[in-house]
Structure 1
Amino acid sequence: MSVSDSLTTQRVSELVMANRAIRAPNYRADHDEGVRFTDLERGLQWGADAIPALMGLFRVEQDARDDHPDGWVGFARHWRGGTLRLDFDLFSAPEEPDEILVVTAISGREGEKTIVDENVGEIELSDKVPTEEEWEERRKRYQATRRKDDTDGSAAVKAYIAALPDWKHEVAAQFDQIVQQEAPHVRRAVKYHQPFYGVEDQGWFASFSAFSKHVKLTFVCETYLDPEPPSGTGPDRQALDLKKTDTLDEEQVASWVRQAADDPGMGW
């Protein structure tokens, strides 16, 4: 993972509007310990709060914490009058032209003219507090951009995999490689906060998601695979759950990938 030498609020907004922002697997919507921010405690949300805030940052700083060498911190005024802090990484890969914002956390901060952030220090607040209507307009513009975006999302999937820790990263990277080998013309995207794999103009045939104790590989197919994976609710949701102690059967997973790619079960 590498980051640019500098990052501006305008660049963050441009990346969001280019659909180059994803939620990290370990994304948190909360407050740091000891911070009271009652109005926003009722439910910070990814689409309703993180995206409009990213499009309205008034300050961006590199994360000063020793364990976040590639991290960034941004601040935005909320329409309720408070301030939101967003933590994110800027992911880039040598073979991918697109940088990806990987947002790891959103939390509230109190203050009228200045706030004191535990990592950044004293911050003078912006006088420009958006209205609720302006906040909603940002969200709608982003949603319209997402609906129109038909580019391959390989960079976003790689950023998602890179953000996974330890053995989960290894399982996801192994699965991604198998998909590439068995379906060379695969299209990728991060949808519903998880990576998806598809055949252009036919549909999505596989995805994966990471949980606290396992990684779920899901095959999205019109018919049942042979042999049927051990879990799932139907042919369009056949799944294999892998825990830390499990070994991925590459030959079997490759067979399931080939079958699902031949008969994608989720509309494009």
Structure 2
Amino acid sequence: MSVSSPPSAREVSELVMANRAIRAPYYQADHDDGVRFTDLEKGLQWGADVVPAMLGLFRVERDVRDDHIDGWVGFARHWRGGTLRLDFDLFSGSEESEPIAVVTAVSGRKGENTVADEDFGEIELPDHVPTQEEWEDREKQYQKARRNDDTDGSAAVEAYIAALPGWKREFATRFDELVRREVPHVRRAVRYHQPFYGVEDNGWFASFSAFSKHVKLSFVCETHLEPEPPSGTAPQRQALDLTETDTLDEEQVASWIRQAADDPGMNW
């Protein structure tokens, strides 16, 4: 897929169904910005709203904002009558294959025939509004495709790391490099909105996640590591929290990676 011009709605849908769409680390659900439609009082959700919307986009545009030079914006009708705006990047990693759609934000827009968008002005809406059954069927199709997917998820992990800012990206990159060095045939994938590392047929043994002030390196195994990491209360929840001013003890982390990989604690 070329990203020099707006991808078609069909191309975006194909990426989602190929399990090549992830939620960005800084993903935002803007459901309280003054333009939400009132039926979505509980906010917009990744699974229930974003995925079905990406499978039903009617318009895709290049993001015109100066600080989103690699971004795209899509619009979809929601079954409750409103419109969703989805912001996403198309990340092309080292492998020669289709990019990863990294969704950065979703927000609601009011309007029956047209909607007003701050970046693209007045947008005419298609006549067809999906029914709730059609909306839920899209989600079911996606979940079935995900369950049947046994491909390597390295590109998604690379996209997730690339989306991290500054020092968080540096820690994540080094952790990813250590895992791949210590476990040469590691399987990588983004699960539950964070990267996971596993041993084929044995399960996942490590993951990491980024928060506002720290990065958490987690080890998922059946027994306690030696020595035990400073965070966590059980073998499957052992972790090391790193702040911007911390130094990564690579020798110790490498030892924990090897131990956890020998005894993974989470099934596929």
TM-score relative to the length of structure 1: 0.96
Instruction: Give the Cα–Cα distance (whole angstroms) in 2 for the partners of residues 259 and 53 of structure 1.
Output: 42
User: 1:4 touches 1:90 (CA, 8 Å); kept in 2?
Assistant: no
Partner of 2:57: helix, strand, or coil? coil
Q: Deviations over 1:12-60 (max 9, x none)?
A: 0001111111000011111474424222232211000000000000000
User: 1:220 touches 1:266 (CA, 8 Å); kept in 2?
Assistant: yes
Deviation at 1:233, TM superposition (A): 2.1
The alignment of Structure 1 onto Structure 2 pairs a total of residues equal to 267
1:203 alignment counterpart: 203
Q: Which amino acid aligns with 2:206?
A: A
Which sits farther off after the overlay, 114-123 or 12-21?
Answer: 114-123
1:105 alignment counterpart: 105
1:155 alignment counterpart: 155
Instruction: Give the Cα–Cα distance (whole angstroms) in 1 for the partners of residues 194 and 34 of structure 2.
Output: 32
Partner of 1:12: helix, strand, or coil? helix
1:19 alignment counterpart: 19
1:67 alignment counterpart: 67
Deviation at 1:110, TM superposition (A): 0.6
Instruction: Give the Cα–Cα distance (whole angstroms) in 1 for the partners of residues 197 and 147 of structure 2.
Output: 17
User: 2:157 touches 2:190 (CA, 8 Å); kept in 1?
Assistant: yes
User: 2:71 touches 2:87 (CA, 8 Å); kept in 1?
Assistant: yes
Give the alignment's Cα RMSD to 1 decimal: 1.3
Instruction: Give the Cα–Cα distance (whole angstroms) in 1 for the partners of residues 252 and 96 of structure 2.
Output: 30
1:260 alignment counterpart: 260
1:119 alignment counterpart: 119
User: 1:3 touches 1:92 (CA, 8 Å); kept in 2?
Assistant: no
Q: Which amino acid aligns with 1:109?
A: R
Q: Which amino acid aligns with 1:19?
A: N
Deviation at 1:250, TM superposition (A): 0.6
Q: Deviations over 1:206-242 (max 9, x none)?
A: 0001111110000011111111101112111110000
Identity %: 77
1:45 alignment counterpart: 45
Instruction: Give the Cα–Cα distance (whole angstroms) in 1 for the partners of residues 257 and 87 of structure 2.
Output: 35
- Tell whether 2:171 aligns with 1:167: no
Q: Which amino acid aligns with 1:187?
A: R
User: 2:31 touches 2:44 (CA, 8 Å); kept in 1?
Assistant: no
Q: Which amino acid aligns with 1:70?
A: D
In the superposition, relative to structure 1, how do residues 3 and 165 fare at CA in structure 2: closer, same or farther (>3 Å)?
farther
In the superposition, relative to structure 1, how do residues 256 and 65 fare at CA in structure 2: closer, same or farther (>3 Å)?
same
For structure 1, the 5+ residue unaligned runs are none
Write the mapping of 1:74-89 to structure 2, written as runs, cut at 5 A: 74-89=74-89
Which sits farther off after the overlay, 67-76 or 258-267?
Answer: 258-267
TM-score relative to the length of structure 2: 0.96
Task: Point out 4+ residue stretches in structure 1 off by more than 4 angstroms.
Answer: none
